[in-house]
Amino acid sequence: MSSSFGTLFRVTTFGESHGGGVGVVIDGCPPKLPITIEEIQRDLDRRRPGQSAITTPRDEPDRAELLSGVFEGQTLGSPIAVLVRNTDARPSAYEDFKDTYRPSHADYTYEAKYGIRNWQGGGRASARETIGRVAAAAIARKLLASTAKVEVLAYVKQVWTITADIDASAVTLAAVESNAVRCPDAGAAAAMIARIDAARRDGDSLGGIVECVCRGVPPGLGEPVFDKLEADLARAVMSLPASKGFEIGSGFAGTTLTGIEHNDPFTAAGGRVRTLTNRSGGVQGGISNGEDIVFRVAFKPTATIRQAQQTVDRQGQAVTLEAKGRHDPCVLPRAVPMVEAMALLVLADHYLRQRAQCG
Amino acid sequence: MSSSFGTLFRVTTFGESHGGGVGVVIDGCPPKLPITIEEIQRDLDRRRPGQSAITTPRDEPDRAELLSGVFEGQTLGSPIAVLVRNTDARPSAYEDFKDTYRPSHADYTYEAKYGIRNWQGGGRASARETIGRVAAAAIARKLLASTAKVEVLAYVKQVWTITADIDASAVTLAAVESNAVRCPDAGAAAAMIARIDAARRDGDSLGGIVECVCRGVPPGLGEPVFDKLEADLARAVMSLPASKGFEIGSGFAGTTLTGIEHNDPFTAAGGRVRTLTNRSGGVQGGISNGEDIVFRVAFKPTATIRQAQQTVDRQGQAVTLEAKGRHDPCVLPRAVPMVEAMALLVLADHYLRQRAQCG
Amino acid sequence: MSSSFGTLFRVTTFGESHGGGVGVVIDGCPPKLPITIEEIQRDLDRRRPGQSAITTPRDEPDRAELLSGVFEGQTLGSPIAVLVRNTDARPSAYEDFKDTYRPSHADYTYEAKYGIRNWQGGGRASARETIGRVAAAAIARKLLASTAKVEVLAYVKQVWTITADIDASAVTLAAVESNAVRCPDAGAAAAMIARIDAARRDGDSLGGIVECVCRGVPPGLGEPVFDKLEADLARAVMSLPASKGFEIGSGFAGTTLTGIEHNDPFTAAGGRVRTLTNRSGGVQGGISNGEDIVFRVAFKPTATIRQAQQTVDRQGQAVTLEAKGRHDPCVLPRAVPMVEAMALLVLADHYLRQRAQCG
Amino acid sequence: MSSSFGTLFRVTTFGESHGGGVGVVIDGCPPKLPITIEEIQRDLDRRRPGQSAITTPRDEPDRAELLSGVFEGQTLGSPIAVLVRNTDARPSAYEDFKDTYRPSHADYTYEAKYGIRNWQGGGRASARETIGRVAAAAIARKLLASTAKVEVLAYVKQVWTITADIDASAVTLAAVESNAVRCPDAGAAAAMIARIDAARRDGDSLGGIVECVCRGVPPGLGEPVFDKLEADLARAVMSLPASKGFEIGSGFAGTTLTGIEHNDPFTAAGGRVRTLTNRSGGVQGGISNGEDIVFRVAFKPTATIRQAQQTVDRQGQAVTLEAKGRHDPCVLPRAVPMVEAMALLVLADHYLRQRAQCG
């Protein structure tokens, strides 16, 4: 069950970074939803490395193929399988690491768990695995937009110590895509890009924070207990490579407020119940209240760097690791579509669950 | 599926705060595990309100009854059902809120979702629901201690702006239980207690941070993709009432480090692979690496306060809410056993999953 | 996961025949469905032993208690827990079998699996476990009747070699309940009752066939591949104690027809597509076609008899087993509500699944 | 969830008969299991149409490709994806049926469910979907053979009214594969082949019964309640196209025995508990007892015939359907590997479940 996500909009990814390919099977998508391979490809292109000078240089065309589940431009209600071939298989590039555990990678833990790993790359720990998630989320996006008018938008909020000033309720996709770092605050974006360039030159890497806003989510999505909307969102984004933290609404900062400062007063506006503030982040008691859902994800600095590092090999001998070649000094811009993807998968699933139980 | 948690150590809770009772069914527990009702009761007593002057005064005996699955002191391998009767049913205390949406409670969202709610209390949103989780976790604790020598310990790290200084690797249960606020830093604990007392007098409430350490977890627990150990931990604790954030290892603070500062160098010690630092928080690539698992959970200030608040009723009319009676000004001490419970449930589940797949 | 059934109308039973009690948690039931404990009790009374001279004499009051999920006569959308206390705990009656494997019972296989069993009765293998299923099905029946006008009716089709002549499309509940054996063919019923009485006197037991008809099932329920409606029905009834076979529509007899003899011609009638014959049994390609769903379940003769039998004890020593006391010579009349229950649970689940995916 | 099967050895199939291809993702397979594409291909070749004059003439090369999860000849523990391209896409052959509901096919029910169907073939109802199951089962077979010495063997027991005489405990794969109809009784096989040839000439079709024996299954597999081994086997084979019935051990015939005639006496032999007879069919109380598991599956005559049939089109107009081209007059020989596949998937899943819960 490790590779499946969701109860009713159920996604199963497969594939290692090296081997035949990576992909996804989406089971439970409603029928008669219009979808084209171009719409899927568009989202895949956003998460692709090598889109700009600041991101990873690996050239991945990532051409998606629809194997099933769509007929004459519409979903059939049957499983939708999407395949992206691996084309950049250069196992020799990894030959040097074959017996070495790269620090803060999954090399050691995979071996500890399985007694075997595909050393020709990161295996399932590779960011390539998220291709399947993003492809599936392109369909979830279509479903949510067509039925519930939901819009999900993520962006870079912080890189290293540089924090952007962004109004979650007003930010647009165009603003996000207006620069290479996907930070809609132009001043902060420029500083971030400069810092990322410096990190590349140093052979070092940077982390940061991605913020995501979900607009138009109807009240009533989410479940009271274990499957609270924030719980499922947390699990979803904490399953992305390099994520180390999640917070919704007031988050960690909210812990320093008192109750009277934190509670969101209710009001009636436009014929429906609203809150005057949104420290709840759009979710109360695990269920959406109709306000914007706003959450943040912390990403550590990428583990792959070019500086020399101390580690051990499979025999437990101390070795010094010095990675060659180019590296991606900051995963944040590419993490943006991944975070969106996970939010879309959670919302699509809860949309169908709500339809099942509450009609 | 809203009320079930776990794949193989599968827990299903039931019950509203008012009605016949609350409880849990645990399916998949291995047979021949020694367990007594006293062991379950002991953990339930830790999460019970009214344990000290600083916590909620509601007197809940919370007497647990084992309905099935245990025979002559040992688990049978069949579902274990535990029931705790509701004894403090005072629906009249809630009569005033019957038509009013309490700010930052689940009143409005439950109505939006279901079109009905049990207004005689918090329904499923009540902290009473966690009785079932804690009861189940007492059995998970026994399973993990008997087979994998795992120890899980949580404590209060922060209340409001008061932060404790605690060494996660050395803290003991005795130190945690040595004061009413369950903060093993005595100085910080005293300040927290004073601040909580002030909040009670003000009719206000406080939030904070609970930290949890899991020791003795063998390498190899967790799954590579969606069911990463940190993802399941995040979901688990974000399903607790009032939680707003989760972080593991370096967490949000780690975003300001660079890769070379953040990576945990490997070393060989005592015949096994270790890390020199633990910014990973005991998990790499979603899988435990044998180091202490350390994570933190942010809790907002409790929504129930006694100060007057603006809100609306079911007809959308503006009303002022003034809660009477006593209230719990700080949920943190009671959240400690709940956080432990969720970590135990996650670890027990992954322990069985690892046994299934990797023998 | 052994004790849960269904994806969206999800039922989890618990309890051994001896111990605190047996019961069920139903998760996923839609809110605002009117339900009373009397409606649940009514169905439980039908499956209760000791209803007539021909069935088992054990006196089980089986008083059901609603612990949660229903408020002011309506479902809340939260888990519905039902508990029935065990009152007839006479462990001494089983003391003699403590170390003996009763032939064709689960004594040996439970020990082989778990290394432990509750020898004070049949444990989870007892027909008492089905109390939870029947209670849950009473709610499923209400759901299906209120939304889709579905009616499910089972009856005894055969006991030993005595076969009844029954028109599945016309049979009524009143006819089924008109005699102790629940066979709506009065002549066959009389012969069956006489044969069952003889079996009781001989200390022997009888098997037979229960047939079930589901009327008013809308076209479209069921899934194309693994979760075909007939597959889920087969699993459902093959999970009942003593069942040995399942067939739908033409079943085993249909294997001797040719394609042109077996195919059901389509026709248009009353503004919708119908079939002229119903050898498909109401399901085509795993999905209901709107015709009556008709299936049959084979039950072996009950394993508990009073005649002397050869067996072994836990030490592998040959022993002769001679059960004392009274026994139930024919489980068929009690199996009727159990078969109905399983069909209702399957249909309720697929009803919600269809609503989720196809709106 | 329609397209997934199993809890721990979890199989998800995808693909329509026409479109990019069909395939499967297997999640949860233990690591370090040796597997080659040739082993998978070998089982696929057995289920392939066009293997002999008596089966369907469609030429399907069905070349399988391993996309992921296997590295240097061993499973990685990650999802194993297998793809088989569709090469025989002749949509024009189906153009005539585009608006017509073929009797006893899934055309009408798919439209009723989804409002859309892939009319270029049978969609998910096509037997091509079982390619994924058979591929997955090849891996399950390897797992079961390597760890538990389990052998699963199916064969044709009956075609039309011609019944074979076969000793389930002694039959061999070589005997099964010795003739085109996969019936190890040579005399019956000859009669079956002649009857199938006649049916082909008539443009008619035949059904029959496949029997399956599982040897070497250790005691303890299966679960007490809903997931009884016979329940999961029943569901598994009732999910195959054209199946109408399932029975295990004594099955329907056992209903005419009395308890003393039917019970299997226990004995001790070779240091373990055995039964003297096997009317239980290797399963007691839902759990394997170590004896051969023997079950039978009834298949209706294939719905595709060449004789003229009465039906309606999508507009509800009566039309006469006359299929052209060649057809498969008897699905039984091809159903043999499919039945084996489903038994293997069930056993592999329960093998892992037993390992998880009972160590």
The answer to whether residue B8 neighbours chain C at the CB level (below 8 Å) is yes
Reduced to 3 states (helix: H, G, I; strand: E, B; else coil), residue A201 is helix
Host H or E run for residue C197 = helix C186-202
Torsion from C-alpha of C344, C346, C351, C356, nearest 10 degrees:
150
Q: For residue C286, is pLDDT > 60?
A: yes
DSSP bridge partners of D158: D163, D209
Q: What is the pLDDT of residue B148?
A: 86
| D241 contacts: CB under 8 Å, gap ≥ 6 | C285, D125, D126, D127, D130, D331
The answer to whether residue D144 neighbours chain C at the CB level (below 8 Å) is no
Instruction: Please tell me the least confidently modeled range out of A266-280, B334-348, C81-95.
Output: C81-95
What band does A120 get if pLDDT is binned at 50, 70 and 90? Answer: confident
Q: For residue D63, is pLDDT > 80?
A: yes
Distance CA B330, CA B305 (A): 10
Report whether B187 contacts B179 (CB < 8 A): no
Tokens 């830093």 belong to B185
3-state secondary structure D157-206: EEECCEECCCCCCCCCHHHHCCCCCCCCCHHHHHHHHHHHHHHHHHCCCE
Q: How far apart are the first and last CA of chain B?
A: 28
Q: How far from the centroid of its chain's Cα atoms is residue B267's Cα?
A: 34
- B113 and A13: CB-CB below 8 Å? no
Distance CA C296, CA B12 (A): 33
What band does B54 get if pLDDT is binned at 50, 70 and 90? Answer: low
Among D201, D244, D279, which would you mutate to test the C interface (most chain C Cβ atoms within 10 Å of its Cβ)?
A: D244
Instruction: Please tell me the least confidently modeled range out of A185-199, B341-355, D83-97.
Output: D83-97
- B286 and A106: CB-CB below 8 Å? yes
Q: List the chains bordering chain B where 3 or more Cβ pairs fall under 8 Å.
A: A, C, D
Distance CA C248, CA C281 (A): 6
> What percent of chain C has pLDDT above 70?
95
Q: For residue A175, is pLDDT > 80?
A: yes
Tens of pLDDT, residues A60-92: 578 999 999 999 999 999 999 999 999 865 666
What band does B88 get if pLDDT is binned at 50, 70 and 90? Answer: low
Report whether C217 contacts C290 (CB < 8 A): yes
The answer to whether residue D316 neighbours chain C at the CB level (below 8 Å) is yes
What phi and psi values does residue A309 have, to the nearest 5 degrees?
A: -135, 150
Q: What is the pLDDT of residue C88?
A: 64
Distance CA C4, CA D224 (A): 11
Torsion from C-alpha of C74, C76, C78, C81, nearest 10 degrees:
-20
Burial, C165: exposed, middle or buried (Cβ in 10 Å; 0-12, 13-18, 19+)?
Answer: exposed
The answer to whether residue D1 neighbours chain B at the CB level (below 8 Å) is no
Token output for D266? 């226990």
- How confident is the model over B242-264, as a mean pLDDT? 98
- pTM for the model: 0.97
- CA C18 to chain D, closest CA, distance in angstroms equals 16
> Chain B contacts of A224, Cβ < 8 Å?
2-3, 106, 110, 123-125
Tokens 């995040």 belong to B234
Tokens 């091809």 belong to D334
Host H or E run for residue D247 = strand D243-248
The angle subtended at Cα C15 by Cα C12 and Cα C21, nearest 5°, is 120
Tens of pLDDT, residues D131-144: 999 999 999 999 99
Report whether D359 contacts B143 (CB < 8 A): no
Q: What is the pLDDT of residue C145?
A: 95
Tally Cβ neighbours within 10 Å of residue B253.
13
The answer to whether residue A78 neighbours chain D at the CB level (below 8 Å) is yes
Distance CA C151, CA C168 (A): 12
What phi and psi values does residue C357 have, to the nearest 5 degrees?
A: -80, -40
Domain boundaries, position A115: 4-358
- How confident is the model over D91-110, as a mean pLDDT? 87
Alpha-helix runs per DSSP H in chain D: 37-47, 92-95, 107-114, 130-147, 173-176, 186-202, 229-238, 259-262, 332-358
Q: What is the pLDDT of residue A95?
A: 79
Alpha-helix runs per DSSP H in A34-129: 37-47, 91-95, 107-114
Report whether D207 contacts D300 (CB < 8 A): yes
Torsion from C-alpha of A172, A175, A177, A182, nearest 10 degrees:
-100
Which DSSP letter does residue D133 get? H
The answer to whether residue B255 neighbours chain A at the CB level (below 8 Å) is yes
Considering only CB atoms, D303 lies closest to which of C225, C252, C263, namely: C263
Tens of pLDDT, residues D263-321: 999 999 888 999 999 999 999 999 999 999 999 999 999 999 999 999 999 999 999 99
CATH number, domain containing residue D168: 3.60.150.10
Closest chain A CA to residue B357: A114
Q: For residue A10, is pLDDT > 80?
A: yes
The answer to whether residue D286 neighbours chain B at the CB level (below 8 Å) is no
How does A250-273 read in b/e, with b if 16+ C-beta sit within 10 Å?
bbbebbbbbbbebbbbbeeeeeeb
Task: Tell me the one-letter amino acid at D25.
Answer: V
By DSSP bridging, strand A293-299 and strand A243-248 are: antiparallel
Instruction: Please tell me the least confidently modeled range out of A141-145, A234-238, B222-226, D44-48.
Output: D44-48
- CA D198 to chain A, closest CA, distance in angstroms equals 37
Q: What is the pLDDT of residue D307?
A: 95
Q: What is the pLDDT of residue C23?
A: 98
ipTM over 0.90: yes
The average confidence (pLDDT) of chain D is 94
Q: How far from the centroid of its chain's Cα atoms is residue C88's Cα?
A: 22
> What percent of chain B has pLDDT above 70?
95
Distance CA D359, CA D354 (A): 7
Distance CA C46, CA A320 (A): 75
Report whether B282 contacts A327 (CB < 8 A): no
Number of domains in chain D: 1
- How confident is the model over A129-148, as a mean pLDDT? 96
Token output for D110? 């798919």
The average confidence (pLDDT) of chain A is 94
- B112 and A219: CB-CB below 8 Å? yes
Chain D segment 98-137 residues within 8 A of C by beta carbon are 101, 103-106, 108-110, 112-115, 123-125, 129
Q: What is the pLDDT of residue A52?
A: 62
Closest CA to A185 of A193, A194, A176: A176
Distances (CA, A) of C193 to B59, C54, C165, D73: 58, 7, 16, 63
3-state secondary structure D68-118: ECEECCEECCCCEEEEEECCCCCCHHHHCCCCECCCCCCHHHHHHHHCCCC
Q: For residue D89, is pLDDT > 80?
A: no
Closest chain D CA to residue C281: D244
- A74 and D117: CB-CB below 8 Å? no
- How confident is the model over A276-289, as a mean pLDDT? 98
> Chain C contacts of A29, Cβ < 8 Å?
357
Q: List the chains bordering chain D where 3 or more Cβ pairs fall under 8 Å.
A: A, B, C
The answer to whether residue A320 neighbours chain B at the CB level (below 8 Å) is no
The answer to whether residue D352 neighbours chain A at the CB level (below 8 Å) is no
What band does D51 get if pLDDT is binned at 50, 70 and 90? Answer: low
DSSP bridge partners of C357: none
Distance CA A151, CA A292 (A): 10
Considering only CB atoms, C30 lies closest to which of A7, A78, A358, namely: A358
What band does A323 get if pLDDT is binned at 50, 70 and 90? Answer: confident
- A79 and D31: CB-CB below 8 Å? no
Distance CA A291, CA A276 (A): 10
C353 vs C147, higher pLDDT: C353
Distance CA D299, CA C243 (A): 20
Chain C segment 31-70 residues within 8 A of B by beta carbon are 31-32, 65-69
Q: How many helices (H) and strands (E) does chain A have?
A: 9, 18
Q: For residue B57, is pLDDT > 80?
A: no
Instruction: Please tell me the least confidently modeled range out of B15-19, C258-262, D73-77.
Output: B15-19
Distances (CA, A) of B342 to A284, B27, B64, B233, D125: 20, 16, 19, 7, 43
Q: What is the pLDDT of residue A98?
A: 87
C46 vs A55, higher pLDDT: C46
- B224 and D78: CB-CB below 8 Å? yes
